[in-house]
Amino acid sequence: MFSQLSAAEGSPWSWGVGVVGSEDVYRDFDSRVIPVPLIIYRGDRLKLYGPYATYDVYRPGDVTASLILSPVFAGYSEGDSPIFDGMDDRGYSMAGGVGLAYRPGQWHFSVNAIHDLLGVYSGYETAARASYVIPVGSVFVEPGVGVEYQSKDYVDYYYGVTEEEARSWRPAYTPEGSTNPEISIAFFTQSLGGGTTRLQLTHTTYGKEISNSPLTDAEQSLGVNLSFGRMF
C-alpha cells in the first residue's frame, strides 16, 4: 500500500482520504464501510499512511525488513445484528510486528507477523502474499494471492461465544486458529486529480473455525479499499 500511495516526488508529505469496505460473514450484518482521513509521509525509512506505519530497519538489495504498526478493523457492537443480542461488544485494536518484503523487478513477495498491542484480543496474525505489477497505459494493475493465519485468541475473540453468552439458538463456541486464503487485484494511477488513486479488491475464503461459528453464515467475503493521496 505504501509503495503505490507515496507522496509526490519533491515532498515526503501528502494528504489523502480512504474508504475500507467489506462484506462481513456475520449473520444479518450490514457491509462494513469505514472512512479513513489520511496524512501520508514517506521518508527514507519511516512511512506513515494514516493509522498505518512502517519503519525499515534493514534493506540489503531488493529485500526490506520493517517494523509494522497496523489498525485492526474488526469486531461488532451488540446492536449490529440480532445474532449478537446479549453479547459483549468486540472492539477495534492496534497491532504491531515485523515484516519482510522482497521486490525483484515487478514482483512483490512479503511475509509479516503482527500482535495485538492493546490487549483487546491478545492474539496475532501472520500473512504471506505475492503480487505482480503490470503497466497498462497510465494505470498499473497488480494481481496477487496470499494466505493469512489468525491465531486462536483472535478467532475466539471475534467469532467465539462464551458460556455466559450462549443461548438455546446460539451455542457456546470456542474455535481454534484459522487459515484464510485470498486473491486480490489492485489498480493504481497518478493521472487523476493530481494525486495517486488506488483501488484494491480482495476475496477471502475463511477457514472452518470461522465459517462454523454460530455467529457467521458465510465462508467468503469481498473487501474493497479505495484511496486517494495528493501532495500538500
How do residues 174-210 score in pLDDT, each as one tens digit?
999 999 999 999 999 987 777 889 999 999 999 999 9
Three-state DSSP class for residue 158: helix
What is residue 14's predicted lDDT score, i.e. its pLDDT?
A: 87
Q: Please give the angle made by the CA atoms of 59, 37 and 84, to the nearest 5 degrees.
A: 100
- The SS3 of residue 47 is strand
pTM assigned to the model: 0.89
* CA pair distance 4, 190, nearest whole angstrom: 9
Query: Residue 209 in 3-state DSSP?
Result: helix
Strand extents, DSSP E, the chain: 13-22, 32-42, 46-49, 52-58, 63-72, 93-102, 107-116, 124-132, 134-136, 139-150, 178-192, 195-205, 220-231
State how far the Cα of 21 lies from the Cα of 4, in Å rounded to an integer. 19
Host H or E run for residue 161: none
Q: Which residues of the chain have pLDDT under 70?
A: 1-10, 232
Q: Are 18 and 36 in contact (CB under 8 A)?
A: yes
Question: Residue 185 and residue 199: Cα distance in Å, rounded?
Answer: 8
Question: What pLDDT shows up at residue 9?
Answer: 53
Residue-level length of the chain: 232
Q: Which residue has the cell 479513513?
A: 36
What CA–CA distances, in Å, run from 81 to 30, 84, 168?
8, 6, 17
Q: What is the DSSP letter of 31?
A: P
The pLDDT assigned to 194 comes to: 73
Q: Which amino acid is at 204?
A: T
Residue among 169, 191, 207, 199 at smallest CA distance from 28: 169
Whole-number pLDDT of residue 105: 95
Percentage of residues in the chain having pLDDT higher than 70: 95
